[in-house]
Amino acid sequence: MLFFLVGEALRDLRRGGRVAVSAVLLITLSLTALGAFWVLSLNLGRALVQWRDRFRVVVYLREEPPAGQVEGLLKKIEGVGGIQRLRYVSKGQALQALRRQIGGQASVVAELPANPLPASVEVTPAGEAMTPEGTRALIQRLSALAEVEEVQGGTAWVEWLAQLQGLLQAIGLSLGAVLALAAILTATTATTLVLHARREEMEIMRLVGASEMVIRLPLLLQGLIQGFVGAAMAVGGLYGAYRLALPTLEPLLSFTLGLPRAAFFAPAEIAVLVGGGGLLGALGGLMAKGERPA
């Protein structure tokens, strides 16, 4: 029975001919567009997570507190709320860090008459305060403290990334949706052609008492096959493009976004794409108008 149903589905695909091929290509196209934007937004998302993780608000203090009061000051700062972690950096530590950073020119630092660097507290906002508004509010609360000279911590860059990701997702989704619609319609046309070619057969099937399931299932299957083939081609094409672009893309990514590696889809995400393809094809198969049984 299974052999028969799959055999009929393959026969149907052949009967769908050029339209079936167009349906497959359109499914490929729509999933490629969707997938391309998805993979971009995926990598941006990873960059975002990394950036958010590294993100600090730096609170510069008016004066270096005496050693015994550091603890109390940190408590006070933490008291403003929305803070995950904080770390005190004394004037001395700041200078050491500067020395390490400039390395070879360390002698320049040695020649300074006095340590010009202020003491500071590095604040990592809590997850819920990580939004642009949350960060802005946090910065305001910190600035209001008497001990605080200045607060630094621009969220502009992270915000911009988040917006870019949103934009990519929107473009990808709308382009993918338009193409998916075209793909479904083409799959429907292909199936309708098959229905016409099969009219006699379906008539005989109904006459001899085949169940509707047996009559309709090959149609659904040929739609599914169209979808799977299209999806497989899309994933293959995207992977090929990814491998080709990798040598040029990776240095660029690590330079601009600080991402060491450009990621491709995980197996689960590939499964989603292939499943989506199957769904597109199957919908086409289901939506085809055949003459209904009497």
Partner 1 sequence: MIQLKSVSKVYRVGPVKVTALDGVSLEIEKGEFTVLAGPSGSGKTTLLRLLYRDEVPTEGEIRVAGFDVTGMRRSRIPHLRRAVGVVFQDAKLLPARNVYDNVAFVLRVLGTPRREITPRVMQTLKAVGISARAQALPAQLSQGEQQRAALARALIKEPALLLADEPTGNLDEAMAEEILYLLSDIWNRGTTILLATHRATLANQLKRRTLVLDGGRLLKDEA
Footprint of partner 1 on this chain (CB under 8 A)? 1, 3-4, 200-201, 203-212, 214-215, 293-294
- Quote the CA–CA distance of 221 and 197 in Å, as a whole number: 16
Q: For the CB of residue 292, give the shortest distance to partner 1 in the complex, in Å.
A: 10
Specify whether the CB–CB gap between 238 and 39 falls below 8 A.
Answer: yes
- Quote the CA–CA distance of 216 and 11 in Å, as a whole number: 14
**Which one, 4 or 160, has the nearer CB to partner 1?**
4
Q: For the CB of residue 4, give the shortest distance to partner 1 in the complex, in Å.
A: 5
**Which one, 240 or 293, has the nearer CB to partner 1?**
293
Identify residue 47 by its one-letter amino acid code.
A
**Which one, 99 or 206, has the nearer CB to partner 1?**
206
Specify whether the CB–CB gap between 287 and 181 falls below 8 A.
Answer: no
**Which one, 289 or 292, has the nearer CB to partner 1?**
292
Q: For the CB of residue 223, give the shortest distance to partner 1 in the complex, in Å.
A: 20
Please list the residues that pair with 151 across neighbouring strands. 59
**Which one, 127 or 293, has the nearer CB to partner 1?**
293
Question: In a 3-state reduction of DSSP, which class is residue 171?
Answer: helix
Could you give the residue ranges of the DSSP H alpha helices within 66-155? Answer: 70-78, 91-102, 106-110, 132-143
**Which one, 150 or 291, has the nearer CB to partner 1?**
291
- Quote the CA–CA distance of 19 and 13 in Å, as a whole number: 9
- Quote the CA–CA distance of 36 and 25 in Å, as a whole number: 16
- Quote the CA–CA distance of 269 and 36 in Å, as a whole number: 12
